[in-house]
């Protein structure tokens, strides 16, 4: 089995989301195990620049076998794993630093395949959105050097035990 952990990063509060369930989930799984694999959970800012930079700092430090980003999708009734990260941003709003990303063209980058979605018992989505979640997925998937995925959770959150069980059952990066 590979030695690195699974890195789970969840976004901190932003805008009208005062208690982000994504950060709660990342903190809840920190230090736990998914099968025989360590899990490291960290909270990151809803920032186009700082969110990916902090994640990649953790990647260099921890050398994870996989990175899972978690964000809240207030318009979705259930959790969904994203298939693609797209370049640029289409959201009209700024991040917590007041920054905006321009819309860009280019091919999407694939994220985790359906194996983790099946293990978590969640649906798949083709669109990580036009805001920081997608910006994070685009930046990190191009630089992490390991599999990267993104899970959108609803406002009520996602069960930490369910995430750990899904990560334990997921075969791709967890087998050595």
CA 50-51-52 angle, to 5 degrees, is: 95
Beta strands in 45-118 (DSSP E): 66-72, 80-82, 84-85, 109-110
The residue ranges of every structural domain in the chain are: 6-169
pTM: 0.94
- Averaged pLDDT for residues 133-138: 94
Percent of the chain scoring above 70 in pLDDT = 95
Average confidence (pLDDT) over 54-63: 97
Fold for domain 6-169?
Aminopeptidase (3.40.630)
């Amino acid at each position: 089995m590979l030695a690195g952990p699974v890195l789970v990063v969840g976004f901190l509060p932003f805008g009208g989301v005062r208690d982000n369930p994504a950060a709660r989930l990342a903190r809840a799984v920190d230090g736990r195990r998914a099968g025989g694999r360590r899990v490291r959970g960290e909270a990151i800012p809803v920032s186009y620049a700082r969110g990916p930079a902090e994640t990649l700092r953790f990647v260099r430090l921890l050398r994870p076998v996989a990175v899972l980003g978690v964000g809240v999708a207030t318009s979705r009734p259930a959790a969904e794993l994203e298939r693609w990260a797209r370049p640029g941003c289409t959201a009209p709003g700024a991040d917590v630093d007041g920054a905006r990303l321009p819309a860009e063209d280019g091919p999407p980058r694939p994220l985790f395949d359906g194996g983790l979605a099946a293990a978590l018992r969640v649906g798949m989505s083709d669109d990580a959105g036009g805001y920081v979640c997608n910006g994070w997925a685009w930046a990190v998937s191009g630089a992490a050097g390991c599999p990267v995925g993104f899970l959108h959770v609803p406002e009520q959150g996602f069960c930490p035990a369910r995430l750990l069980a899904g990560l334990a059952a997921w075969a791709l990066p967890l087998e050595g």
